[in-house]
Amino acid sequence: MQTRGKFATSFGVLTATLGSAVGLGNIWKFPYITGKFGGAAFIIVYLICVALASLPVMISEIVVGRRTNSNAVGAFKKLKPYSAWPLIGYAGIASSFLIMFFYTGVAGWVYSYIFRALGGTFVNATSDVTGTIFKGLITDSLSPIIWQVVVLLVVSVIIIAGVEKGIERITKALMPLLFILLILCDIRALTLPGASMGVKFLFNPDFTVIKGDVLLIALGLAFFKLSVGMGTMITYGSYFGKQENIPATAVKVALSDIVVSMMAGLAIFPAVFAFGFKPDAGPGLLFITIPMVFSKMPMGNVLLAVFFLLTAIAATTAMISLLEVPVAYLVDEKGWPRWKATVLSTGIIALIGSTASLSADPAGVLGATKIFGKTFFDLYDYISSNILMPLGGIFIVIFVGWFFGKRNLQMELSNRGRLKNGVFLNVFLIITRFVSPVLIALVFLNAIGILKI
C-alpha cells in the first residue's frame, strides 16, 4: 500500500488550491467581461454569485476529499458504497480529461509566445503581422502538437514528483512569482499616457447594464472560474491536513482569484486603450492585440515575454490540478505507482488532445471535421463546461446538503469542534440544500441553450 501524500503547510494548501482556480480565463476573459458588463457593478454581482454558487461547491468538494482522504471516485465509494454517487467522481475524471484535451493546446500557444517574444518576433509588429503569426501557429500541422507535448512534459514532471515535493513545492514558488510579474506589468501599463481609460473600463460602475443576461453571465463565471465540478477540489481536499480551516481557505482562494483577474486586467487594458486599440475578447486579444500593444513600448519584447510567462504560470498550475484527478484515481483505486499513472494519463491526453490542437481553426488539418456540428476543440469544451461540470456541481452540493449528514459536516467545518462556526454551518446547509442547486441548474440550462433571458 502506497503512502498517500499530504500538503505539508497551510501556505502550500492555499497556493495549490489557488493555482487550481487561477487559469487562462483570469488573464483575458474575466477582466474583459468585467469591463464590458458594468465594471465595479459587475464585480459586486459576481461576488454574490460566488458566495451562493461556487463557494458552496468548492467547500463541499474539499469536505468530501478531506473526510475520506480519497480521490474523486474513491471518496464516494467510502461514503456511499454500492450506490450511484461515485458517478460524480467518474464525471469529474471525464471533465478533467476533456478540458486537458484542448487546454493543453492553448497553453502550448502561450509557451511558444514566450520564446517568440524573447526572439524579437513582435518588434514593431502590426495587427496584420501578429494575426498572421497566430494563424500560422494554430493551423500548422506540427508546431501545435510539439508545444502541446512540451506542456504535458512540464506538468507530468511536477505530478510525478508527488504531492508535497511536486504540486506543493511548485505552486508555492509559482503563485508568488505570478503576483510579482503581474505587479511589474501593472506598473508599466499604468504609467502609460492615456492609461486611465483602461482603468475606467475596468472599474467604472454601471448598474444600468445589470440585467437578466448579465446575471447569468456572472453566475456562469462564478461557477466555472474556481475549478469546481471537475473533481480537482475533491482531490486536493484529500491532501488537506485536519488542522486546515476549510471555509477560510475557500474564501481566501475566491478573493485571491478575483485579485489576480483584476491585476491582469490592469496589465492589459490601460495599455490597450493607451495605444488606441479595441478591448476584444478571446484569443484575438491574448495572441494578436497584446503582442502588438507591447511592441510599441520601450523594452516591449521583454515585457511581453514576462506577460506570457505569467500567463504560462496560470495555465500550468491549473493543468497540474486537472492531471492530478485521474492520476490520484489510478494511484488510489488501482494501486499504480504515480509515474505509471501519470504516463498513461499524459499519453491519453497527448493522443486525443492532438485532435483539438489540429482543429482549433477552420483552416487547420482537422478544422473541417465536425461531430454534432462542432470541431473536436469545441466539442471537448462544450461537453466538459456545459454538461459535466454543472451536473457535477449540482450533485455534489445535493450530496453534501442532504446525504453527507449534518454531524459529519459539522465535524469537518469545525475541525472536530476546534472552530466555532455553528452559524456558518446552518447558513451553509441552507445554501447547499436550497440555493446552490437552483443557481447551478440555471447555469446548466443556460449553457445548453434551454434557458435564455
pLDDT above 60 (res 35): yes
Mean pLDDT, rounded, for 197-219: 89
Q: Please answer whether residues 259 and 18 qualify as being in contact, where contact means their C-beta atoms are separated by less than 8 angstroms.
A: no
Q: Please answer whether residues 375 and 100 qualify as being in contact, where contact means their C-beta atoms are separated by less than 8 angstroms.
A: no
pLDDT above 90 (res 42): yes
Comparing CA positions, the residue from 158, 324, 176, 154 lying closest to residue 239 is: 324
Backbone region of residue 374 per phi and psi (left: phi > 0; alpha: psi in -120 to 50; beta: other values): beta
Q: Going by C-beta distance under 8 Å and a sequence separation of 6 or more, which residues neighbour residue 142?
A: none
Mean pLDDT, rounded, for 250-256: 96
Whose cell is 454500492? That residue is: 82
Cell of 415: 475541525
DSSP designation for 282: S
Q: What is the pLDDT of residue 28?
A: 81
Cell of 315: 495555465
Cα–Cα distance between 217 and 46 in angstroms, integer? 9
Cα–Cα distance between 299 and 233 in angstroms, integer? 40
Mean pLDDT, rounded, for 256-260: 95
Cα–Cα distance between 342 and 1 in angstroms, integer? 18
Q: What is the pLDDT of residue 71?
A: 97
CATH number, domain 10-447, options 1.20.1740, 1.10.860, 3.30.300, 1.10.10: 1.20.1740
Q: How many CA atoms lie within 13 A of 86 on its CB side?
A: 15
DSSP designation for 187: H
pLDDT above 80 (res 282): no
Cα–Cα distance between 425 and 386 in angstroms, integer? 30
Q: Please answer whether residues 241 and 159 qualify as being in contact, where contact means their C-beta atoms are separated by less than 8 angstroms.
A: no
Cα–Cα distance between 102 and 381 in angstroms, integer? 7
Burial class (CB in 10 A: 0-12, 13-18, 19+), 368: exposed
Looking at the chain, the whole-number percentage of residues with pLDDT higher than 70 is 98
Q: What is the pLDDT of residue 281?
A: 56
Looking at the chain, the whole-number percentage of residues with pLDDT higher than 90 is 79
Q: What is the pLDDT of residue 2?
A: 60
Which tens digit of pLDDT belongs to each residue from 363-390? 999 999 999 999 999 999 999 999 999 9
Lowest mean pLDDT among 72-81, 99-108, 191-200, 237-246: 191-200
Cα–Cα distance between 169 and 173 in angstroms, integer? 6
Reported pTM: 0.95
pLDDT above 70 (res 273): yes
Cα–Cα distance between 177 and 311 in angstroms, integer? 11
Q: Going by C-beta distance under 8 Å and a sequence separation of 6 or more, which residues neighbour residue 84?
A: none
Q: What is the pLDDT of residue 209?
A: 87
Q: What is the pLDDT of residue 4?
A: 80
